[in-house]
Chains A and B, each alone.
Chain A
Amino acid sequence: MAEVLLEVRGLTAGYGAGPVLHGVDLDFQAGELLALIGANGAGKSTLLGVLSGLVPPTSGSILFAGRNLTGARPERVVRAGIAHVPQGRRLFATMTVRQNLVLGAYLRRDREVQSDIDRVVGYFPALGDKLQRVAGTLSGGEQQMVAIGRGLMGRPRLLMIDEPSLGLAPKVVETVIEVCQSINRDGVSVLLVEQDVVVALEAADRGYVLENGRIALSGSARELQDDPAVRKAYLGV
């Protein structure tokens, strides 16, 4: 049995008007590539927001690598080893790719930032000759690569990626997902949040299905792919 990396129990959260999450439980083994799938408005991004400290939970608990991160501020979450690649990339659009990556290492105090930039370029060779380009002038796919790379610069144990496929061509989605898999093979646990269920379950070890703020289903990626309810609701078959 692998080490438990993340343990979420009874998580409730919302934005004032009423809760979006109603008691979410989640177990994450170290080294897994986990897919979190669900329809628009199911609460996927809110769950990531709570995990990364952007949204305060109203109840429940978050345990990460033995540490209690319930309601912790984002900088403590980042220090603990969780990186959040937000939906819509959220790059520093007027800065260069290199500056974006350097800012990803914001909380680190070592001098190995350059070797980590090389590592990011290793994952995304397309960025190799674009480090001096202004991030806002890159294509959508390249911007997504910068966003993931910026997340990696913090040397996280857990990388949470929110909707990387959003607005990208299928070919580019494939590349991005493949890199997520190789990042995972190199020892980083990955939580992949996707509306594109086919893509997500193809890549993941296990999956959770979030519906109306509750975990409706969970299991291995294969089980979910074969589940009649999932097939009907998300795969359209």
Chain B
Amino acid sequence: MSEAAFSTQPSRTGRRIRRAILIAFLLVVVVVLVLPLTLTQQAADANLDPTTLGIDFAINKSIVRTETTIAMFVALAAAWNLIGGLTGYAAFGNVAFFGLGAYTVGFLTDKQHLSFALALPLAPLVAAAFAGLIGVPLLRLRGHYFAIATLGTGVAVGEVIKNLDVFGGATGLFPPILRHADALFFYLMAANAGLAVVVTWLVMRSRFGYGLIAIRENEEAASVLGVNTTAYKVGAFALAAALTGLAGGIFAQWSSFIDQESVFPIQYNVQMILMAIIGGAGTLFGPVAGAIVLEWLILSLAGGGASAVYAQMGLGVLLAVTVIFVPRGVVDFFGGSSKLSLGYFRRSLRETSV
């Protein structure tokens, strides 16, 4: 298959604007990536006497924490995009993979006294294996049925784990605390987010990716053309699970305490989907942009009280508005040449009205 057949030709001004946006974006990325190093250096310097650390330190610590959380959601949203955006299967239970990854690291470090470095690589493997296992029956369902089945699975996995004493039961697990590792956790989360984007890019350029898009657009036709739909869907699901499980594994060590509530939160399911859809499901950078903006909003408004309630309401309204007016997401809306942006609607209106 030729790649050229799927490319679009942006106009010259479009290219220039795009380049400017890209440069500004890269600058911001550099600042965001370097910031945690300088902010956490202070903590290392003051290692011997933490009481000398003042309010600045607390603020710096919270900035790094915010960045780490945002990086985590970028990975979750980008991972969801593989199954939800590219393949068109609305998975509502990806938090199961997050929790499984977290519990893998938690169990191995707390109960088996394995080091974090050895435990972490197993988190994505466990999550992907589970996705492969449930994917075969679940991915036979479509639409709402698939969404409900995955939602149920997400809840069930958390409940089962909570009731198993080997995994700490209701008390949870306590991975040994790593001191002064704020920057490390940020870079791990950021690396996973980067990995998720690179994996998405590779998938979108590959034969596998065209197969996934064909499945999304018309599964029966894809099958008739020779796409092994079952294998492809399960593959995309397992890939999403691996990236989500890796995020969970990092999270477990970062928070140094996990229980069912902290690593199987149902609202994560909704949040990662919101981020991907508002940003642009099926696009490369849509879920990234959606995750950054939404999670930043959520964290800024999470002061508790009325503002938190307004934030939740706002998210609901935002989702409704997005789905109605920008069904392909914000990134697509601004990407002038892409086929489902405003320009496309104008063109196709002109063409069909002749």
Contact = CB atoms under 8 A, between A and B. Distances in A.
B228 to A, nearest CB: 5
B352 A137 contact: yes
A95 B5 contact: no
Nearest to B219: A90
Interface stretch (A71-79, A184-192, A199-207): A71-79
B221 interface: yes
A114 B5 CA distance: 9
Interface in B182-237: 207, 210-211, 214, 217-218, 220-228
A113 B221 contact: no
B220 A73 contact: no
Contacts, number: 77
B9 to A, nearest CB: 10
A52 B222 CA distance: 12
Given A74-B226, A133-B351, A113 B340 contact: no
A93 B5 contact: no
B224 A74 contact: yes
Nearest to B328: A94
Interface residues of A, number: 35
A54 B218 contact: no
A92 B217 contact: yes
Nearest to A52: B224
B348 A92 contact: no
Interface string A153-164: 010000000000
Contacts of B221: 86, 90-92
Interface in A73-103: 73-75, 77-79, 83-84, 86, 90-96, 98-99, 102-103
B109 to A, nearest CB: 43
Nearest to A76: B226
Given A93-B218, A94-B217, A114-B2, A150 B225 contact: yes
A103 B214 contact: yes
Given A103-B210, A103-B214, A79 B2 contact: no
17 contacts: A54-B224, A73-B228, A75-B227, A77-B226, A86-B220, A90-B224, A92-B221, A93-B218, A95-B217, A98-B5, A99-B6, A102-B1, A104-B225, A106-B226, A107-B226, A108-B1, A111-B2
Interface of A: 52, 54, 73-75, 77-79, 83-84, 86, 90-96, 98-99, 102-108, 111, 113-114, 133-134, 137, 150, 154
| A-B residue pairs, 8 tightest by C-beta | A78-B226, A92-B217, A90-B221, A107-B226, A75-B226, A102-B5, A84-B224, A106-B225
